[in-house]
Chains A and B, each alone.
Chain A
Amino acid sequence: MKRVIITFLVFSIVLITLAINPSFTTEKLVAGASDTMAAANRQYETSQYLLASQAYQQLVDQGIVHPNLFYNLGNAYFKQGELGKAILNYRRAQLISPRDADISANLNLCRGQKVDRLENENNEGIITYLAGFTRQRLTLNELAILTLGLWFLVTILLMILITPLLKGNWKESIQYSCIILGLLLILCAVSLGSRLYVDHNSPDGVIQVKQVDVSSAPGGQSVKQFTLHDGAEVTIIEQRADWVRLALPGGKLQGWAPSNAVGIIQ
């Protein structure tokens, strides 16, 4: 019996290290990207924010993903007064590097300057709340590994509990840890599920133009329902060719806006 548990432990450890360690993925380096970014940083330092943002954006458009790149692009946009684009890029940086204090500081500064005071997050459902809560603390991968790791831990404890070798205090403490870890596992699993659900069904978006009218239907002829301003963070419910359907936090107000006015974070 001990052999079974030990085999299982070794197996899980190998699996988890394999998942965490990114070295098994092959990296496709982009030639000259570092030089372009360094040049853009210098342009930023000499207050040529427009040039800097163009250079960063070019790297982003090539498919390069790095929190520092998104962060610097956000800074360059902020210096030009492009609040929405700044928020969009900070959000993207935060997705990859959720516990970076600089990113959240700049994001909060931007959010303090936007025009629209949207309804508080308190009105959101538990799913949206959990997704948002974990998003600021863990990346999706970290959350996935944490949940899986907890699941492994809980099963190991269950297996130990089944073997009649344990007596008295040991058994009791393992029982309690099993219950606590089990609850934690449920919480993490629900969070992971919410996160996947939200990311898949209603990704977040940021308004990127000074002002946009949100109407009741796609196409210019419909009734204008409300107006959003630069930097407003919304939820994307549906995407079509030139139009997106968006909803405000709380879900009460929703409507269609031209897709070029909204930047989608994922």
Chain B
Amino acid sequence: MKFRWLPYVLVLCFCVWVLPVHAQAPAPITASVDRDTLSINETIQLTVTILTNSLAPVLPDMPALDDFEIVGTNSGSQLNIVNGQISSSNSYVYILQPRKSGELTIGAFSLTLNGQIFQTEPIKMTVTKDQSSPPGGQTTKPGNGQQPAEVNGQDFFVDASVDNPEPYIGQMISYIVRFYQAANVVGQPYYDAPKFTGFWSVKETKQSQGTDTLNGRPYQVSELRTFLFPTAAGQVTIDPAKLTMQGGFFEPDINLQSKPITVNVKSLPDGAPEGFKGAVGQYEIKANMSTTQGKVNEPLTLKITLSGKGNFNNLPEPIWQDIPDWRTFESKASAQSTVQANQIQGSRIFERLLVPSKEGKYSLPPVQYIFFDPIKGEYQTIRTQPVQITILPGQAEAPSPQAVLNPQADVKQLAEDIRYLKPVPSVLAKAESTNPPLTVLLFYWLAWGLPLLFLAGHLFWEKYRQRLESDSGWTRRMQARKNARRTLEAGRKGSDDVYHAVALALTDFLSDKFNQPVAGLTSQALAELLSQKNISTELSQRVQDCLFKTEVGRFAPEAGNPTYAENLLDEAEKLIDELENRLP
């Protein structure tokens, strides 16, 4: 723990050293040194960077460097083609050792480009006599805790570090892997990133190159930075970073490994304000409405932009407030971030769909955002300016906000609500007059009996009809009187001989009733048959009398008397009725 401060210092130095490479000023030529104070035994690194639009390398004109000894040089170039524009960056690195102590100046480098002369600023520096370097010294110092202990002039090694070993939860730290190489690499080195368990990680895509001198030996350094956001408090160890270099034909692969790094993640201090959802970083908030005028039931988009430094991919939502007379729908959030000055900077835009339900002038209330600022070590609350908007009358029917947003998306139910009112019916009447329950009405239950009645009647009729067909004797008996009457009627109308008709009616009737012929019987035999059928002798006598009278009528002179025939017809009719009652 002797060198606890060292990482901070080193990172600071590194930033200073690396900045010119990244943050290029528009000037085509720049010169920088990694520090401006050193002891006489140390070296500094002077980097001259030239930005041009041509592919051909351009060499700067060197000033006289009388006070320094050039102990090493190095150069690198980078070619970028963006939108068809070529820009090349050539950097020339000079390792300089001062020859004397005191205030020294590195003269201006100059460059002639398209006939124009560009010059760098002269660099002033202080060289001390003593051996030890002041705090904030450079990484060149041997025995530095940051480097592997076994740096003893190897050709390659890998070093890993974090810029802040004691971050808060959610505070961004950088994990930096440096690959030092003093010899040419045969193949492309393969970097195996550690698993950042316990962190949300964002890798910087751009590698940066540089040089460094360790133990008096110049190294080329490639640096890769990963931004980490701790997700849980406590001691978290990052596994070693691994680098594999393919060996030559006769040589085995070279496996390099850094040391594991332990990060002590601090939990956020107590006293978080209400509504804090875990955002850590430095942010600014801005509200933006697409228009200042809207219409009723037409959706408007409110954009809340959070910008600053932090983990934009994982930023919680701001505190939304319900706005009276407005319906709000969550829609989408987008994030974008860039790396600037070794920090993730960017913004996250939360879009909210608002649908006004009434016209009028509105001032949308400010949206609040609460976050923890790890640098200040305190919670901060920011809020937007209120947004002024005028709502004009619009269409009556509210459109589905989902349909407005994205017509092709599946319709999702955003909220459950009851279905809307039903219209006023044309008839509003009291209960007792509209459909009374049928079951309380008598006629309903009487109706149940109706089919039974019909069924019974039908059954009876069907039985009767069947007997009529199958039992001929019964049928004759049943139809005897009907036939007899028909015959008498014919006689009365004169279509037939009256006396014949009466005789026929009587004999046919008796034949039908007894189911046997009667016509040929003598009066004696007829009397016997009638007495067998329980017909009284008096009635039997009348039947015989009647039959006798018909014969008299046919042949006697009285035949012409219509009264006689009339009386006979009546008598026959009476007889048939009486017999019908006696006989079954």
Contact with B along A139-179 (1 / 0, CB 8 A): 01100110010011011101100110000000000000000
* Interfacial chain A residues near B412, Cβ < 8 Å: none
Task: Say yes or no: A41 contacts B421, CB within 8 Å.
Answer: yes
CB contacts under 8 Å to B, within A19-34, are: 19, 22, 25-30, 33-34
The segment from A57-65, A219-227, A230-238 found at the interface with B is: A57-65
Answer yes or no: B458 CB below 8 A from chain A CBs: yes
A52 → chain B, closest Cβ, in Å?
9
Task: Say yes or no: A75 contacts B421, CB within 8 Å.
Answer: yes
* Interfacial chain B residues near A131, Cβ < 8 Å: none
Task: Say yes or no: A69 contacts B428, CB within 8 Å.
Answer: yes
The segment from A102-110, A119-127, A201-209, A247-255 found at the interface with B is: A102-110
Task: Say yes or no: A65 contacts B424, CB within 8 Å.
Answer: no
Report the Cα distance A235→B365, complex, angstroms.
Answer: 50
Answer yes or no: B522 CB below 8 A from chain A CBs: no
Report the Cα distance A32→B556, complex, angstroms.
Answer: 97
Contact with B along A65-85 (1 / 0, CB 8 A): 111110110010011000000
**Interface range on chain A: under 10, 10 to 19, 20 to 34, or 35 or more?**
35 or more
Task: Say yes or no: B458 contacts A159, CB within 8 Å.
Answer: yes
Q: Name the residue of chain B whose CB is nearest to the CB of A44.
A: B421
A210 → chain B, closest Cβ, in Å?
20
Q: Name the residue of chain B whose CB is nearest to the CB of A163.
A: B462
Our pick among B419, B433, B439 for the contact of A105 (Cβ within 8 Å) is: B419
Task: Say yes or no: A37 contacts B424, CB within 8 Å.
Answer: yes
Task: Say yes or no: B421 contacts A72, CB within 8 Å.
Answer: yes
Among B420, B426, B430, B461: residue with most chain A CB under 10 A = B430
Given A34-B424, A155-B454, A159-B458, residue A28 in contact with residue B432 (CB < 8 A): yes
Q: Name the residue of chain B whose CB is nearest to the CB of A72.
A: B421
CB contacts under 8 Å to A, within B430-471, are: 430-439, 444, 447-448, 450-452, 454-455, 457-459, 461-462, 465
Task: Say yes or no: B455 contacts A155, CB within 8 Å.
Answer: yes
Report the Cα distance A29→B429, complex, angstroms.
Answer: 5
* Interfacial chain B residues near A12, Cβ < 8 Å: 450-451
Contact with B along A1-43 (1 / 0, CB 8 A): 1001100100110010001001001111110011001100100
Task: Say yes or no: B434 contacts A29, CB within 8 Å.
Answer: no
B233 → chain A, closest Cβ, in Å?
39
* Interfacial chain B residues near A44, Cβ < 8 Å: 421
* Interfacial chain B residues near A28, Cβ < 8 Å: 429-430, 432-433
Answer yes or no: A196 CB below 8 A from chain B CBs: yes
Task: Say yes or no: A19 contacts B433, CB within 8 Å.
Answer: no
Report the Cα distance A143→B423, complex, angstroms.
Answer: 27
Task: Say yes or no: A66 contacts B451, CB within 8 Å.
Answer: no
Given A37-B424, A41-B421, A106-B418, residue A63 in contact with residue B432 (CB < 8 A): yes
Report the Cα distance A64→B425, complex, angstroms.
Answer: 12
Our pick among B422, B428, B435, B439 for the contact of A25 (Cβ within 8 Å) is: B435
Answer yes or no: A45 CB below 8 A from chain B CBs: yes
* Interfacial chain A residues near B434, Cβ < 8 Å: 22, 25, 27, 65
Report the Cα distance A63→B454, complex, angstroms.
Answer: 41
Report the Cα distance A25→B465, complex, angstroms.
Answer: 44
Answer yes or no: B416 CB below 8 A from chain A CBs: yes
Q: Name the residue of chain B whose CB is nearest to the CB of A200.
A: B439
* Interfacial chain A residues near B81, Cβ < 8 Å: none
Report the Cα distance A33→B461, complex, angstroms.
Answer: 57
* Interfacial chain B residues near A158, Cβ < 8 Å: 455
Answer yes or no: B25 CB below 8 A from chain A CBs: no
Task: Say yes or no: A148 contacts B447, CB within 8 Å.
Answer: yes
Report the Cα distance A123→B552, complex, angstroms.
Answer: 95
* Interfacial chain A residues near B424, Cβ < 8 Å: 34, 37-38, 41, 68
Task: Say yes or no: B437 contacts A4, CB within 8 Å.
Answer: no
Report the Cα distance A246→B380, complex, angstroms.
Answer: 58
Report the Cα distance A33→B459, complex, angstroms.
Answer: 55
Task: Say yes or no: A140 contacts B423, CB within 8 Å.
Answer: no
B524 → chain A, closest Cβ, in Å?
47
* Interfacial chain B residues near A59, Cβ < 8 Å: 428
Given A28-B433, A151-B448, A152-B451, residue A1 in contact with residue B428 (CB < 8 A): no
Given A19-B444, A26-B433, A64-B431, residue A155 in contact with residue B422 (CB < 8 A): no
Q: Name the residue of chain A whose CB is nearest to the CB of B446.
A: A15
Answer yes or no: B427 CB below 8 A from chain A CBs: yes
CB contacts under 8 Å to A, within B390-419, are: 416-419
Task: Say yes or no: A27 contacts B438, CB within 8 Å.
Answer: no
Task: Say yes or no: A162 contacts B451, CB within 8 Å.
Answer: no
Report the Cα distance A62→B421, complex, angstroms.
Answer: 21
* Interfacial chain A residues near B429, Cβ < 8 Å: 27-30, 64-66
Q: Name the residue of chain A whose CB is nearest to the CB of B357.
A: A47
Our pick among B421, B425, B444 for the contact of A66 (Cβ within 8 Å) is: B425
Report the Cα distance A12→B454, complex, angstroms.
Answer: 11
Task: Say yes or no: A155 contacts B452, CB within 8 Å.
Answer: yes
Report the Cα distance A159→B458, complex, angstroms.
Answer: 7
A53 → chain B, closest Cβ, in Å?
12
Given A71-B422, A162-B459, residue A144 in contact with residue B438 (CB < 8 A): yes
Report the Cα distance A45→B428, complex, angstroms.
Answer: 21
A59 → chain B, closest Cβ, in Å?
7
* Interfacial chain A residues near B465, Cβ < 8 Å: 1
Report the Cα distance A59→B434, complex, angstroms.
Answer: 15
B325 → chain A, closest Cβ, in Å?
10
* Interfacial chain B residues near A109, Cβ < 8 Å: 416-418
Our pick among A68, A79, A102 for the contact of B419 (Cβ within 8 Å) is: A102
| Interface contacts beyond A65-B431, A105-B419: sample of 20 additional A-B pairs, CB < 8 Å, sorted by A | A12-B450, A30-B428, A30-B429, A63-B432, A66-B427, A68-B422, A68-B424, A69-B425, A79-B418, A102-B419, A102-B422, A106-B419, A110-B418, A140-B439, A141-B435, A144-B444, A145-B438, A152-B450, A154-B451, A159-B455
What are 7 A-B pairs with beta-carbon distances under 8 A?
A4-B454, A28-B429, A33-B428, A34-B424, A62-B430, A75-B419, A144-B437
- Interface of B toward A, CB cutoff 8 Å: 416-439, 444, 447-448, 450-452, 454-455, 457-459, 461-462, 465
Nearest 8 A-B pairs (CB), nearest first?
A155-B451, A33-B428, A68-B422, A65-B431, A28-B433, A63-B430, A102-B419, A106-B418
